[in-house]
Structure 1
Amino acid sequence: MNIHPIRLLALGTALLAAFYSEASAAALDVNFGLNGRVAVELGVYGSRANAVIVQPDGKIVAAGSSSSTTADKDFMLFRLLPDGSIDPAFNSDGTVTTAVGSFDDEALTLALQPDGKILAGGYSSNKNRDFALVRYNSDGTLDHSFGAEGIAVTAVGSSHDEITDMIVQEDGSIVIAGVAQGVNGRVVVLGRYLANGTPDLSFAKEGFSLSVVGVDAQAESVALTESGRILVSGSYSDGQRRGLMVLGFDAAGQLDKEFGDNGIAIPPDSSVFSEGYGMFVNKDGGILVAGSVGKENKRDAALFRFTAEGRPDSDLGVLATAVGTQDDVLYDVVVIDETIVAAGFKTVDQQREFLLITYSKDTGAAQENSAQFTTSAVVTTGFSGGKDTSTALAAVSENSVVAVGESKAAAGSSAAAVSKYTTAIAANSSTTANNVLGINTLSDVNTGNQYILTGTPYELTRTTVIIPAEVLNGLSNVTQRGLVFGTMPNPVLTSSASSSSSSSSNSNTSNNAPVMSNLSPSNGDISTAYATLSLSTDVNATCKYDNITPNKDYDQMASTFATTGAKEHSQLVTNLQDGEKKYYVRCKNTASGAVNTTDGIISFAVTITATDPTYSYQLFVDYEKMVNNALKNVGNFFVGTAIAADSTTADATATTSETKFLEEGNTSAGSGSGAFSSKLKNLKPGTFFYARAYAVSGGTTYYGNQVSFRTADSCFIATAAFGSVFDPAVQILRDFRDQFMSGNAVSRSLINFYYQHSPSIADVISQHNTLRFAVRMLLLPVIGVAWIALHIGLSELFFLVIAGFGLILCSQYALRLLRRRSKAVSI
């Protein structure tokens, strides 16, 4: 291990810091380093910092890479004392570099264990990049009890595997988020390692869960909520635009379909370019994601907030702040007390500077139509006069933070850069930065008439969605209102637009708690290992249940019905055992927020016999596990080399008349002001839609803000069998469809026939573990053929099949000749 001397760069006393408010809520800590800044050079060709943690004793550990040759980076860590000076107790000189592979190695994330040991994660290169974890003792030496002499390297995909973030659980397990590269794009990877550095085979599929989102995806941050849900933030591309995303997983590493829409949360208007990076989860489950909005070279720094359920938070929504004249991006975010602090970079004339933004509660704003948070200060900090980028942020104390990144001079040399800020809130601080909040989400979107609000789509399926809306009292004499939607931005109400098969409801019909009815099954016996809980409410509502404790408050119930939000609610429960079952249900009025104060009770008895078909699969559970492991191994082979694009181009070529699905239309939801919601039905699967509320007043049609959504893709049976539309096996089948079955009318007719008749079959499959297992087995050879066709082409595959048959026939003919000759010789 080569260690180069550390050099603290003289930065001068002139600070390139810009403040957007006279009474600033943040400033450089002049008692740290040199006027709040420290730059560290390691390696002949420079260094950079990508991650930072603060130890309980106040010492600051940063990690990234340093380079001793022009084409070889190594893991690099250094530790500073609270005043910014180097810590000589850390590996004798405050720094450590570790060569993991034979080519580039870089640390992208850090984690501190309770025993003081330090974990660094990133990638290691031996021509291809692989996951890399390195554990150090508290004194900076390698922990040889971890992995192989302190290092654990794992190949997941075919190339470009990177760990981008990680957290250490209470039992010492290490949850990581990252990416793996396939042929056409990157796939999100969630994994878990045991405390000794080996993959946890009980987690997800042999330790890793792979999710295909769009044509390319990048995981940036991972977080664990108090309820045990695992969140991964980042960005995805659908081939036309890039968008922020948050994926939700359960504690076992499976995609959590109760989070967001089928496990994924995106901003309200996903038609706008956005990116997601670092994430912070509040105690109430609220999710903050640092990022940007706008296209490359014109991005604005942005902070996104989602609820614990994965819905855009109307209290904050999106805070977009334009600082420089070019790119402004936030890479990380933390919360100190009630102050939000985010860091990244700003760009002016191609020169970058560290960017720090603080957000504080706006106590003087009206509660109804104003944000709860506003930008309180914007601070920029320069190091080298070149490109200075802050990539990570950590809280030091109740009133200070530290940011790390890279300082790259115009001459090309680079150093790891550290800056420390005080964040004490000053009274009456304010800013003119652009704060765009709530339902009107982004500054470069047509926000529409101020009296018409289009809400966030929810209950999104392959063919349906529910969209809430409201016409405020400021617009009078409204004779018609509703929603208009289409596949192009800014849809309008026209007489020729198709009338959507939809249902609309006025959510103001009652401000009381929902009235529950038709609770089922009730007071009966069932003989299966599963049951579907269902009920109806008189208003749109969200329903929860508990099967252990009665008389729980609605907010204390942990389980939400899978299908809810309207007036019909259902939830499939599985793995039932013999005995009496009781489920206690309470619902919340979507419009008024009123909740039930008494339980609705679903009660039934389960009596399972050994001859029951839903029970019989349990007799073969060990065999099924064995075969499933084989399926996982084969599936991982496909994943590692055949992650393909999530393309909807083929679907877009089919017309509405061919498919009987709608690509445009409108709803009518009465007249006057007030809140209402519309359920759009028969939407085309796998299609990106735009929608906005409208109101007709005085013969003129006015429109609200635009929202967008994408219906789930339509590999119904495969999705039901494999459990997620993001499963790579499903992706392979979709790619085969898009590449080889969209070029002629016969193939499109077959696809349309499948669209019409497969959903009901898929629903049955999804409810029976035995059927899911059987369908996976049946689909495996189909997936293999599709994978080969995607790699070598359909005509080449056909040629190989013919050649194979020919080879078999020739072999049989040769064997017959040999047998005849042997008989002739014996005679």
Structure 2
Amino acid sequence: MNRIFQSVIWAFFFLSWLAGTAAAQTLLVANDQFGSGGLVLTDLGSGFDEALAIAVLADGRVVVAGSSDNGMDRDLAVVRYLPDGRIDSSFVFSAGSVIGAALGDDVARALTLLEDDSLILAGSITENGGTSAVLVKLLENGQLDYRFGDQGVVVYRPAGDDATFHDLHRLADGTLIAAGASAPANEPSPILVRFQADGSIDPAFGRDGLESFAQVRGELYGVAADAGGNLYGCGYSRDENGRSGVLLVRLSAASAAPIGGAFDETGVVTLFHDDEETIAHDIAIQEDGRLVIAGAARPAAGGSSVLVGRFAPDGTPDREVADDGLLVYDLGPNSAAYGIAVLADDTVLAAGYHQDESGRDLIVLQFDATLAPIGEPNTLDQAGSTSGALAISALIVEDGAFSPSAVAVGGTSRQATLLTTAVEGSDETGLAIVVDSGGTVFAAGTSGGTEQSAILVASYAAGAVGPGKAAAAATPVVSTFYAIETVPITAVTRVGALTGGQITALAFDSQRCLSACLEQCPDTAGVDDEGGAGEDQVPADGDDTPGSATTCQASCTEQCTVPTVEKRGVVYAVDPLPTYADGESEEPADPPDSDDAGGTTDDADDDGALPDNPFAIENFFAFEEYLVKRGQTEDGSGAGSYTSRIEDVNPQTVYYVRAYAVLTDGSVIYGNQLNFRTDDACFIATAAFGSVDGFAVQTLREFRDRYLQPYQWGRLLVSAYYRVSPPLADLVEAHLPIRLAVLWLLVPVVAMAILLVYIPTVLVFLPAPLLCWHFINRYLVRNVP
């Protein structure tokens, strides 16, 4: 008996240690309160428009800066939006008043907000064949602040060389640090420049306000500062062979003096790899002072991948992430990250793009404070694939837990949560990201093609669906013949929910379609321009070979006949955008790159129910098999409304749901996607204590969420518990002696959970072991017969 109590105490110490590291994480979803489904597109000019910087005002207005093509050259572009995504017409910025009449490409690459809602831009302007770094200050209404620099503009060319600013950071004393590069002899060199609040150079910084890393061939793309007066920058450096590697710098924000640590005597750290080139596009600082970066890795074989990394404040790599602190996420043929942000709970977000055969899409990768994954991973072979996505008013917003493979040099594979935002028929790239004071995330970039594009702003909100709740409905999906909408989800339980669909037949003039189609069909034999038989020639024997009039007419009849709804129901899965499987035991054809998105689990019945053999002793450690990954219902045929009951799914799991309809022409249409999260299930504790809402059960549930769910091993334990506990709970509830025995065993567990959940960690480490031992000795040991 004493050994049991010693084991309990050791377990208590272990769980106390976890108290200092556990943190609840929140998944992000598209913010329906901003624009159309979380997305706003703004077309300013006749060519390529893009946003390279973004910030959020205290009142929720959003401002972006970048460039716009007017057909002759590129101008600075600044747009401000109201909190709901509409353009703020009171903002009157004019690029022409900044650069005058000279031709040349001008770009704003960074911006910073001031307390009075004025803002300062940083970037470059090109005039008369030369490029100059530039700062521009705008008043709250978008007009130039003539008190700043020269009529609102500061043009900077060190020693007359070409220069550009890529990032801007405002320090606590109001001074400005601009990061970028100068190009003496056309060989770029990183620079940091400090300006006073009025736009004048701060001579106390470096050499006359400039700190130039002349020994480095490269550029600085990002800059940040911590509360201790340390200034950090990131970018790239080229070695003697011209290969790029990650560049980090650290200096005193006040004087530009090197501080030491892993940084060399000039304040520089460079990281080169033999197998791939690396570059850091942005940098941020976590609450504990550690540095996180986002960028790209380019292997010699071609393409690129997302790069993220973390370092200690002194520049040493975080070996919890990888030996050199860097992770490379393979999202397909091409991908990269251009912006990084840190939420209040140290969640890390990286914005960029990934590209596959269907085009380029904006992505936001979401990590927890340790760069570990957030959310339950799935097994998509190519993360971020948009195959099977349907346009919703020409807009696709996908959100969910994808699993791009991550390769750490000297480390192990990791996963991350990926949100993809795409517009049908165009390419999207995320170039900047920011988090407002309320935790809402905004990404900015561009959307369009090679000849014309629009400024893109996407918004994401905390979207983890609470237990027993469902997400709000989106708009219906419309096809040629029918509109189909997923019915809002209700009656959510631990193992199911109630939903359905509404299928509405759309007006379709079959006769007009047939007439128009038949007009295009050949009616006599023809001869092509070269004198041979043309494609439209009708064979002499009147057969229906391809290209004949008979075949054309048959095709017209088929395509102008309205198909009927042969089957209807809902599909649901732990992965976004579930698809219908033709034959419940078959894998769906879409998406083709997924092992299990839409397929049945190995040990699950075809309808998604748990398999027989509830204990599954032979597969006890195959925890993934316990998860019901997908399923579908079949609820009649024809148009109209119908009800679908989802049953036998897992507790405390998020499921994505879409109504579907199989038409007689073989096509399948889908409704808008909803999602819900099933209720928690503390089966055995509920049976022992007699109430799911009892204090003891709530405490155990809170303990599970705080100390088990954030970790993969904890989630595996929870999955195993959900698998084996229901039949045991029935046994406990049915027999009073067994129930009393379980209560006796759970008392010390509940006591420890109370201490860990409701007493601050700092107090737990000291008095908790004594209290626990006193409790066990007084109430349990002495009462043992």
Q: TM-score band (shorter)?
A: 0.3 to 0.5
Instruction: Give the alignment's TM-score, normalised by structure 2.
Output: 0.48
Q: Which structure has the greater CA radius of gyration?
A: 2
